[in-house]
Amino acid sequence: MRQVDAIRVEGLGCSYSGADVLADVSFGIAKGDYVGLVGPNGSGKSTLIKAVLGIIRKTSGHISIFGVDLAGFGDWRRLGYLPQQIASFNKYFPATVREIVSLGLVAGGAPGRGNAEAVDDALRLMDIIEIRDTLIGELSGGQQQRALLARAMVNRPEILFLDEPTAALDPETRERFYATLLKLNRDKGVTVVLVTHDFGTIGKYASKLIYVDKKIIFDGGFNEFCESAEMQRYFGEFSQHIICHRHDDGAVK
């Protein structure tokens, strides 16, 4: 019996002001995948994630989550989402790390002992329990991003969507953040869908690559990408080599 995909998208179309942003996009994401969703600026990557999460309306196509049509899906605790926000984060926002993380539990109702334990578990998972009472604005960029990731993880989601989460991080902090995601994927079984421009680095971590430019250009594993003559013609030999070389050198097999 075929396993139901965690995410299944078929013939998806999205538009803004009458202009197509995505057209006839189809792909599947299996449970346990670590997906690098890549593409140039304006390619529709963020739009795609928001459509899957029901944040924006699609104009055509079908989306299912754990085999349930998006229109009828209601178990949103199984999903975590870290949107693009760190670059514009208000450093004067008067909330502690613990309070920021607890916002991820708003849908669960009134705070209780179980929720407090869930918050502390998320803080430990992100290795920031010792700064739980620090104001969010007093943290470094990397610490802020870990706090926001803890907020996304507080309900222990099965799928984690991240939209350009490392854009404002320095290279060293970025690598640590990627390593944290890899640990969540491998040790906790979290399915990761990561939107990024960082072609060279994502190849060290993700198991699957989806390249979007208003439509699906490539959907498959990194070995497939590296061995594809079609992708070499599309990207050029040099660009393909950068992605594949770093993947071969840095990936943990």
Per-residue pLDDT of the chain (253 residues; tens, 9 = 90+): 557 799 999 999 999 888 899 999 999 999 999 999 998 888 999 999 999 999 999 999 999 999 999 999 999 999 999 988 655 566 677 899 999 999 888 654 445 556 889 999 999 988 899 999 999 888 888 888 889 899 999 999 999 999 988 877 788 888 888 888 999 999 999 999 999 887 777 878 898 999 999 999 999 988 888 888 888 888 887 777 777 765 554 444 3
CB 55 within 8 A of CB 199: no
pTM, two decimals, is 0.86
Which residues have a Cβ under 8 Å from the Cβ of 96 and sit 6 or more positions away?
132, 133, 134, 135, 136
On the 0-12 / 13-18 / 19+ scale of CB atoms within 10 A, 246 is middle
Domains along the chain with CATH numbers: 7-250 (3.40.50.300)
Residue 246: C-alpha distances to residues 95, 109, 194 (Å):
39, 45, 18
Q: Which residue has the tokens 């007093």?
A: 138
Which residues have a Cβ under 8 Å from the Cβ of 244 and sit 6 or more positions away?
203, 222, 225, 226
The CB density around residue 145, as the number of other CB atoms within 10 Å, is 27
CB 26 within 8 A of CB 15: no
What one-character DSSP code corresponds to residue 133? T
